[in-house]
Amino acid sequence: TIAYKDGAWQRGEVKPYGPLSLAPSASTLHYGQSIFEGFKAFTQPDGSIGMFRPDANAERFNRSAARLAMPAIPPELFLKAADELVRIDQAWVPKNVGESLYMRPLMIATDPFLGVRPSLEYLFVLIASPAGAYFPQGVKPVTVWISEDYVRAAPGGTGEAKCAGNYAASLLAQAQALDKGCDQVVWLDAVHREYIEEMGGMNLFFVYKEDGQTVVATPELTGTLLPGITRQSLLELGKQLGFITREQKLTVRNWRDDIASGRMTEVFACGTAAVITPVGKVKAHGFEFAINNGENGPVTMALREALLAIQHGTAPDTRGWMHKI
């Protein structure tokens, strides 16, 4: 934990995992000034530990902080906290492929003050937990539910920030998705309610053919969806694998049409927790359709392999994505 008060970050403290002490009036509890991040540490073939792009997480954390009227944390301090935590016991980082140590930085407003204004005091907390596969069934296509009843983020809102409130607002929609026999919710834009934005905790990619070439496309950043670090990494990696990568708009109608015509062959979701997960079936009120016969697709799996190889250190890290400790 690192406290922020009197306009400055204080000396950090490493403590055993346990409850935090907060005033019942702490503003995070009332007004939701709470932001977080998620990234992973992987055991490398030489036994060392590498974190995947924690600098990108530090940057996004500070963009979230700015949107929530919270102070920035110097990226060096963010990275130092992560390094120090893992150095306590490197055995916390699992060694098997597909496993990692998930790191969760959090910043909350601790000011004991009931008025509605940005807090003057904050607490940065970093916790870590070993992670296996995100979906218990392993790499098997998931079924998704298009949320027509609820909206995640509106223009000008906090959709681009990784803040607690976005997730609070999504819990009911996720419960509805589960109730409909789906694994995850797909969000649409708040204005037209037809453009695909992202999933509950992942960004989406669409694979289609164009003039004999394979295009790997993801919804463009509109300010209402999370700029995923996996998403950004795949836009680069996809190119390296010989695909055209693209950010674009896509409506539900076009999605259905492109699947029905066979132009679109694969859809997958990506994020730190789930890495890359194929989408095999889409459901909504009144319709449903399958993608690639509900099977894992070759482009999806090639991208997944390429990303995991960089993260686990079995492929060269030509972009300096791995932060070695």
* Contact with ligand PMP (CB under 6 A) among 202, 215, 275, 306: 202
| Residue 307 within binding range of ligand PMP, rule CB under 6 A | no
Q: Encoding tokens for residue 27?
A: 């503003």
| Residue 105 within binding range of ligand PMP, rule CB under 6 A | no
| Residue 297 within binding range of ligand PMP, rule CB under 6 A | no
Applying CB under 6 A, the span of 24-32, 124-132, 195-203, 311-319 interacting with ligand PMP comes to 195-203
The sign of the CA dihedral 162, 166, 170, 172 is positive
| Residue 53 within binding range of ligand PMP, rule CB under 6 A | no
| Residue 272 within binding range of ligand PMP, rule CB under 6 A | yes
Residues 78-97 that bind ligand PMP (CB under 6 A): none
| Residue 267 within binding range of ligand PMP, rule CB under 6 A | no
Cα dist from 121 to 4, 51, 111, 112, whole Å: 5, 29, 5, 9
* Contact with ligand PMP (CB under 6 A) among 203, 214, 265, 292: 203
Closest of 178, 173, 144 to residue 281, by C-alpha? 144
We find the least distance from the C-beta atom of residue 289 to ligand PMP, in angstroms, to be 23
| Residue 299 within binding range of ligand PMP, rule CB under 6 A | no
**Alpha carbon 112 to chain centroid, angstroms:** 31
The sign of the CA dihedral 157, 160, 161, 164 is positive
DSSP, res 38? -
We find the least distance from the C-beta atom of residue 38 to ligand PMP, in angstroms, to be 5
Q: Which is nearer to ligand PMP, 44 or 218 (CB)?
A: 218
* Contact with ligand PMP (CB under 6 A) among 54, 105, 219, 271: 271
Q: Encoding tokens for residue 109?
A: 């407003």
Q: Encoding tokens for residue 113?
A: 């003050």
> 4 in helix, strand or coil?
strand
* Contact with ligand PMP (CB under 6 A) among 142, 196, 207, 229: 229
| Residue 40 within binding range of ligand PMP, rule CB under 6 A | no
253 CB neighbour count, 10 Å cutoff: 9
78, 95 Cβ separation under 8 angstroms:
no
Closest of 204, 250, 196, 249 to residue 228, by C-alpha? 204
Closest of 145, 64, 50 to residue 107, by C-alpha? 64
We find the least distance from the C-beta atom of residue 200 to ligand PMP, in angstroms, to be 6
Q: How many chain residues bind ligand PMP (CB under 6 A)?
A: 12
Q: Which is nearer to ligand PMP, 26 or 164 (CB)?
A: 164
Closest of 295, 229, 236 to residue 268, by C-alpha? 295
| Residue 219 within binding range of ligand PMP, rule CB under 6 A | no
Applying CB under 6 A, the span of 109-117, 221-229, 248-256, 315-323 interacting with ligand PMP comes to 221-229
| Residue 197 within binding range of ligand PMP, rule CB under 6 A | no
9, 122 Cβ separation under 8 angstroms:
no
Chain residues binding ligand PMP by CB under 6 A are: 38, 198, 201-203, 226, 228-231, 271-272
